[in-house]
Chains A and B, each alone.
Chain A
């Protein structure tokens, strides 16, 4: 076998054609019994020389130089058509059959040489094939391991992807449910508002008419009283019925009733506006107005315990789905109101800077514990007891702002309050 030469991986290092010399064959074969047989046949010495005449192996009395005292028989040894050496047998002078014995011995060697060479070649080839196959197996093993690793990573990634997609689906489903709920509430509200609007219309109208009637009655009574046309009985009745007071109080009652009716009208209008049942599509709105609308809907819930402080800046009209935006404000403010039983002060400030709209909603409530602040926008995360909170409010707010290309962040100090900061990206302004 040749030693490997500048072996690269895709290059074969194992070759089977290296020359086998007589030396290899002689040294790999035990020639002792052969030589002994030569001696017992009558030779006094036996030797194998290589092609240069150097002695490779010898037995008995044999000299390097030709011996005149003895009879030397020499036979050429061939391998692969080439003379590769000589077999020398020395016989005592006058030995019979010396030539015949030498021929026989040479014939034996000529059988021995190729059969040993054959064995050596087979061994060399076998070794090289085994080495080559082993190298290929190793190579295949490395490739298999690589591909196995790749597939394992793929499988892991797939599992991760499935988890992600599942969670996205869950969120989307929950949001859809919530929006459906909002939509049905909005529809109900809009229906109720519509029903209320009718009677409210004639109540307001009748109150106006009644106010006019009362003015005329008061004017008439004033005239009667001025001329003291009433008798004693009538005057007593007039006093016991407190007509003066009634005439004084009636305008106030009517005014209060009209105020009340007006408030009902406003609530109904806001309710309708909030549900945006009439304009479910995108529209240019004033965000300040939308915040006010949200607060008015919420006032029934926290009227007595919430104080709203507003610092509104001048805002450009913003193209959005107003209903969704109201839901963001509603969810954040509702959270602030529900976080505590104590009165809360909620400060809402809005501003605009090169088209970017910022809305900060800050409360002085209990704040958000540090341990959960990183999770509040996660869907289904809630600190309230089971059944009280869906854990969706802030997650929906987060999604809506994200869908508008904006961001929502929170800053909170336990015991001092929380501040939700919404930033909406600049939009190309259209004058409407």
Chain B
């Protein structure tokens, strides 16, 4: 549910990193912040935490201007993963334009992943979003650890779902940009459908993604 102010020529998009507690949502944002050049992005805003656990949300904003002058702000949020913060998750998820589900690859976390995904489906319905139309990607994080679900298992479980699945290790940055890029592609496609970004605003997908993901030379 995009926020679009035609008079002001501003558009605000909301992307949400969802997933079970400790699956690495905040780490994904920290890595994005490190990997993406300062030009065009804002600072990572980490709201007050308790023992390094997110209790409100983290926010990494991006800003770009289309060739015709349309200002677009992309806000990437994380939700708190702990079960008890469900009301916060609902509030953050409301009006999301895209969701990245960050799963924990460890076999011991399979049940938590499933529970969190169910919670996502439930809350998407609660905030009035059609899950079939919502751009969604899945990331299996923590591939650097031992005792994780195998690639074959992930393929078996997700190949038929029609959802892009990425394997990542957010701690060392592997797979973080790929996940984000894939989600941005889907978000762009859904936006282009509704607001004719390419036709009316001369903003192509490459430009859109290129403006947001400017890889930091130092980090790369």
Contact = CB atoms under 8 A, between A and B. Distances in A.
Given A19-B12, A118-B47, A122-B47, A14 B73 contact: no
B56 interface: yes
Contacts of A82: 42, 63, 71, 73
Given A17-B12, A114-B43, A132 B95 contact: no
B127 A17 contact: no
A15 B91 contact: yes
Contacts of B63: 80-82
Given A81-B62, A117-B45, A17 B90 contact: no
Nearest to B89: A129
A125 B45 CA distance: 14
B87 interface: yes
Interface centre among A122, A126, A128, A129 (most CB of B within 10 A): A129
Contacts of A122: 47-48, 56
Contacts of A11: 126-128
B41 to A, nearest CB: 5
B73 A19 contact: yes
B213 to A, nearest CB: 13
Contacts of B90: 12, 132
B47 A80 contact: no
A54 to B, nearest CB: 14
A372 B10 CA distance: 87
Q: How large is the interface on B (under 10, 10 to 19, 20 to 34, 35 or more residues)?
A: 20 to 34
A17 B14 CA distance: 8
B166 interface: no
Contacts of B177: none
Interface string B11-47: 0101000000000000000000000000011110101
Contacts of A128: 91
Contacts of B71: 82
A16 interface: yes
Interface in A104-122: 114, 117-118, 121-122
B91 A78 contact: no
Q: How large is the interface on A (under 10, 10 to 19, 20 to 34, 35 or more residues)?
A: 20 to 34
A132 to B, nearest CB: 5
A206 B95 CA distance: 116
A221 interface: no
Nearest 8 pairs of A and B residues by beta carbon:
A80-B61, A80-B42, A81-B63, A81-B42, A82-B63, A128-B91, A129-B87, A12-B127
Interface of B: 3, 10, 12, 14, 40-43, 45, 47-48, 56-57, 59, 61-63, 71, 73, 75, 77, 87-88, 90-92, 94-95, 126-128
Interface of A: 10-12, 14-19, 78-82, 114, 117-118, 121-122, 125-126, 128-129, 132-133, 136
Given A11-B127, A17-B14, 12 more contacts: A14-B94, A16-B57, A17-B3, A17-B77, A17-B95, A18-B3, A78-B42, A81-B63, A82-B73, A121-B47, A121-B59, A132-B90
